[in-house]
Each structure stands twice: as structure tokens, then as C-alpha cells.
Structure 1
């Protein structure tokens, strides 16, 4: 396949990854600068403004699409230069352990500015790391078994919602890590918050890995895009049917006094852990976006962000922390002991500024990765 065709085929992946990371940035600006109007998941509609609701809703696409593309990236990694399945398994295990270590140290320090915080948050980097470890084992299974397992996890994990363990029971800690967002008290001075129960994310990453053959060299772009569109439309139709039936896959929605209230309730889905309906909506739109971005030339600058995701993730956290500390020092803390912005549009404006600041370093590192064969650069 000619190099330019290969580049178009793969740049759509980086571009979508960059797009969802830009939306993630908006949500993290909200976490730093709009915490005085914190939201839960699902959101409490009568206390969440319309603009804040849709700002938070936009970020729901970030983690599922990113984890899906991580699985796809694992398949692509295994296709290069005659790499074996063992090579891919080792790479995934090593990368997964590194991400877990980063979550427990560098990432938590970015949020808390403490080397020994009383509470450690096990968030998306942790979930991606554990999912990589799981995928390093699951890739040895026959492909039909992988497909069945991915569907079973994503579609069936809500059946496990009634299963609960108390902190005194032996199953509490593994279940808190896998499926039930909980607090794990390791000692009087250290608590773990399993913000991202990992089981559904394993299913999503496995689904991304199974997408890999769509991106084989020689596969016609039109054929690949057709399958992505069919998958996206099928997922969205399944979401709509389940949501209208209102029986399984998430908490029920209710009709409101106005059309807008009904729409908000309809779209108010559970992220922790991601429900079946949450997965269908986000991945359905993700598959459609992946097909569309392969055709469109607009937004090419997002490729550079998507090519260095770990660098962008760590860099933007520390940049936001620095900006928050500076603004709190200059303007004072006037929202219950915190500095905060006064309007949601300011969250988007600040996110746009931070994105602009991060774009240059991301572009430079992405270009260095293209020129250099240094192994350590692949981790960024």
C-alpha cells in the first residue's frame, strides 16, 4: 500500500483520539475551575444547568472512544515488522504496569499536589492500565471467543449491578476494582477511590482489538468505512430501542414538563461503571466519527495531539494545576475556599487557551517520534 494511503488510514485514528482528548480537557478545566458546581453521574437534573449538563455530556465520549482506540492500537502494534503475539502481550503488560504506576504517583500528584495524599483516585489511566494487562492475556484466545467475551462483558455487566459486598467481606476489594465504584480503606491514613471500575472497560478495549482487521493494509477504505458506519448506526439504534423500552442497560428516564427536560433525562446515562446504554451511545458515535474523519481533511492539527496521548494527558494536568494556583493567588478564593469561574462559557474559553498552549509541544514531540527510532518515545 502506498505510504500516503497508509497515512490517511491511520491519521483518522490519531485525529479522533485528539478530538476526544480535547473534550477531556474541557471536562478537566471544569474539574479545576468549576468545582463549586460539581455534578454527579448520572447528573441530578434539577440542580444542573442546561449548559453544564451538555458540557459534562460532551466529555462522556472521551474515555470509551479512547479505550476503544487503545485496543485498536494494540492490534496495529502487533502487525508491525513481523511482531509475534507474544511481543504484543509483553508490550501490553509492560505498558499497563507503567500506566498503573503513573496513576498512583504522577497523576494523583497532579491533582492533589501531595506526595502522600489521604485518598488516591484510581481513574482512567488506572483503568486503561488494568485493561491492557487483561488484553495481554485475552489476545491468546481464539477470535470467536474474544468476540463473544467482548459482547458478554459490555452487554451483560449490568446484570451484575445488584451484586454487592460489604467492606468486611472477602469479595469487596476485587468487586470494587471490577464493577462497584467504592472506597477501599487500606489504613486510617490511606483510602483508594475506584473511580473507574474496570470490567466494562476491558470489554471495550477488547472490542477495539477486534476492529483491527478493518485496518489491514490492502483493505479498501470504502469497505472499512461502510463497516464502521453500519456498526455506528447499529449501536445507536440499539441504544434508542433500549432507552425507549426503559427496562435494561441503565436507570430509567422520565418524561419532563418540556421537550428539553425529556431530552436531558433521555441522555442522562451512567458512566461509573459505563452502562450498556452509555457504551452503545458513545461507541456508536465514535464509529461514525472514525468513518467520517477518514474522508474529511479538516482538523488535521488534532493528529499531533492524538499521536502523543500520554504526553498531552500528563502535560495538561500539570498546566491546569499551575494555572489554577496562579489564578487563586491573583484573584483569591471566592467559591467556598476555591477559585472558580463564574460561567460555563468561561470553562470552554479557558480550555481553548490551554489546548493552544499544548498544541506546540505536542506537535514537536509527534514530529520527533516520526524521525526517531528511540523506544522510549513510543510510551508518549
Structure 2
């Protein structure tokens, strides 16, 4: 019975990973194909529409869920390793992820062989978070939990502290870009709160131990999910703490609601994490018994998320190059392009409506599924190959 439960629990984690991976691709397709991506922020209440806003908003759930579950997975891996072995694995995998972000992912976004613009984002923060977690796992669980909660609930106290052109501060808590010898480096994902999300996920790994009662786990996750979302709305009502940007009453219900849910991701505010992790807790609590072909479809992506992440960026960018070429703008416009949400006059008139964006997104997922399925099968059949644990 315990082995069955363990398999079921892991599948619910793979299911959530897979869902957020698939949803994440929608945002990246929008980045390259939607006409608004090159001219305004999709969550700006003064310029956006609800369909565009929603398309961006639902992707907010991706990074927190994946960072949290990366910590949970680290705990599970630790069940088969000694603390020193787990620490070594996390440290080496963290370094590998940083390398991948700088070289493989940066090239995927720009196709720029000179690497003139490097954005340190999702994979970067996962890598550094793993390196920090490699040290944290040697502390008592209560200390790790306290560390995680203090940072998640308290890091917004640092919002009014600014150090211009300070690389360390940009890495930790304030999104900034720097120029180095003709290269632009953007610290998009400030590390402090993301490290805490992963270490929190590590603490939650014990809920998925085979000896932990399923009903108790579900009750805990449901309680935390409901409590997190309730606290989100309480803080929203006070509008004084939890996000560096306070919501605005525009005198228009639609715009005001957008402002309320326009929570800050860079760095992830307390409100952002309460909403996104709260929903993740609820999903984990109520998805363990889900079965069927649709569930298996998403679980495939959840079992090979890193492999999927890399190839999905290259596929989307290649499709964008074809779209630019055949729409008369020339493929070159999609190489070494400026940062998204920067007004690009050369792309005025380029892009497609939201329906087309969704259709391209579905095409991307369908094209990637067989590749991910084959790679998943290869991983399952070759567990003796150590290097597969880094992919």
C-alpha cells in the first residue's frame, strides 16, 4: 500500500510540474507572437485588456510552483542519499544550471553568438537556490522552515532600500541591469525570496514520506492553501504591506481589479507568493486521485521539465523567425532582438491576435510531447546513467 501511495503522491507532483510547464510556454509564445509584447506590459491596467491580462496572469503560477517543487524533489532525493551526497549533488547541479542559463538559455532567447544581452532568470535562480540549499540541508528542519518563512513574509521590508549599480543588491533583491565591456547583464530574478521558496519546498518534502498519512497531508495542504489566499485578500484590503506597488482605485471596476491582481514578480512579493503558492497547495491537496490519459499527458512534461524547458525556447524562437520572415518583416528582426516590453518601432504592425497565439501555443505543446515522451522513457529505462539526473 505504501508503494502505491508513494507513486500516487509523486504523480500529483509531476502533474503540477507538467501543468505549469505547459502554461509557461503560453507566456513565451505570447512574448514572440502577440503584437502587444513589443509595446506595453500585459498587466498594465491602463493599456491591457482582460484576455491579455489573464494570459499573462496565469503564468505567474509557474515559477513559484516549480521552485517549491524543486525543493520538495530535493528532499525526496535525499531519502536515497546521505546528507553529504545530497549536498554535493545540489551544489553541482546548481552550478550546472547557472552555466545553462548563461550559455544555452541566453542563446535560445536571442540567437546572438556574441551574447551581448544575458538575462539571469528562472534557471539562474533555480541554480543559485540549489547551491544555497546544499548548505541549508545540514541545519535542523525547524531552522530551515523558520528561515524560509522569515524571508517570504519579511523581504518586502527591504523594498524601500536601493543601492544603484550594486551587483550584489541586484542579485539579492532589486531587479537591475549592468553594462560590462559591451555586454548587458540583467538580474531579472532577484534571489532572496526564490531561495526561500525552494527551501520551503524542501521542508514540505516530509509530507510526501511514505509514512505520512494521506488524509493528514491533504488536510494540511488544504488549510495552508485556503489560509494563504485568505491572507492575500486581507493584505489587499489594507493595501499597506506585501507588495512594493500598491493597487490603485481607477474609478473603473475592471481596471481596479486588474490593479489588485497586478502583483509583483520581480522580485516575487509576499502577495505574489501567497496567491501562487496558495493555489499550488490546493492543487496538490486535491489532485492525488486524478487519473486518465489527460493526467498522463501533463505528467510527461512534469517528469522531464528541464529537457522540455530548453527545447521549448528553441522551438518557439525558430517558429517566430519563420513568422517574421513569411509576414514580410524578415527573419533578422527576431535575432538579437531587444528585451520584451521595450517599444520596438521596427516591429510596429508585427504580431498576431490572441486566438492565433493560443493556437501556436497548442501547436508547440503537441510538437514537444512526443520528444518529451521518448526522453522520459529513456530516463526511466536508464536510471543507472548518472548524467540523466542533471537533465
Quickly name the TM-score band, shorter chain normalised: over 0.9
For 1:287 and 1:238, the matched residues in 2 are separated by: 14
Query: Which moved further from structure 2: 127-136 or 335-344?
Result: 335-344
Report the secondary structure of 2:185's partner residue. strand
Which position in structure 2 is the counterpart of 1:79?
79
Distance of aligned partners of 1:42 and 1:204 in 2 relative to their CA distance in 1, 3 Å threshold: farther
For 1:38 and 1:279, the matched residues in 2 are separated by: 27
Partners of 2:14 and 2:303 within 8 A in 1 = yes
Which position in structure 2 is the counterpart of 1:231?
224
Q: How many residues align?
A: 373
Which position in structure 2 is the counterpart of 1:243?
236
Report the secondary structure of 1:45's partner residue. coil
Question: Map of 1:1-380 to 2, 5 A cutoff?
Answer: 1-34=1-34, 36-38=36-38, 43-80=43-80, 83-167=81-165, 172-187=166-181, 189-250=182-243, 251-297=245-291, 298-333=294-329, 336-338=345-347, 340-373=350-383, 374-380=385-391
Partners of 1:123 and 1:195 within 8 A in 2 = yes
1:293-332 Cα distance to aligned partner (Å, 9 max, x none): 2122252211110000111000101111111111222222
**Cα RMSD between the aligned structures?**
1.7
Offset at residue 364 of structure 1 (A): 1.1
Partners of 1:39 and 1:48 within 8 A in 2 = no
Which position in structure 1 is the counterpart of 2:337?
none
Which position in structure 1 is the counterpart of 2:338?
none
Report the secondary structure of 1:193's partner residue. strand
1:222-244 Cα distance to aligned partner (Å, 9 max, x none): 22111111111111111111111
Unpaired runs of 5+ residues, structure 1, are none
Unpaired runs of 5+ residues, structure 2, are 331-343
Report the secondary structure of 1:104's partner residue. helix
Question: TM-score with structure 2 length normalisation?
Answer: 0.91
Report the secondary structure of 2:287's partner residue. helix
For 1:234 and 1:74, the matched residues in 2 are separated by: 26
Query: Which moved further from structure 2: 330-339 or 213-222?
Result: 330-339
Partners of 1:42 and 1:271 within 8 A in 2 = no
Partners of 1:36 and 1:340 within 8 A in 2 = no
For 2:160 and 2:3, the matched residues in 1 are separated by: 51
Offset at residue 65 of structure 1 (A): 0.5
For 1:31 and 1:141, the matched residues in 2 are separated by: 41
For 1:5 and 1:34, the matched residues in 2 are separated by: 43
Distance of aligned partners of 1:152 and 1:272 in 2 relative to their CA distance in 1, 3 Å threshold: same
Offset at residue 154 of structure 1 (A): 0.5
Partners of 1:182 and 1:194 within 8 A in 2 = yes
For 1:361 and 1:117, the matched residues in 2 are separated by: 28
Partners of 2:31 and 2:37 within 8 A in 1 = no
Partners of 1:41 and 1:272 within 8 A in 2 = no
Offset at residue 41 of structure 1 (A): 6.8
Offset at residue 259 of structure 1 (A): 3.1
Partners of 2:152 and 2:197 within 8 A in 1 = yes
Partners of 2:228 and 2:274 within 8 A in 1 = yes
Offset at residue 42 of structure 1 (A): 8.8
Report the secondary structure of 2:91's partner residue. helix
Offset at residue 6 of structure 1 (A): 2.0
Partners of 1:236 and 1:281 within 8 A in 2 = yes
Report the secondary structure of 1:301's partner residue. helix
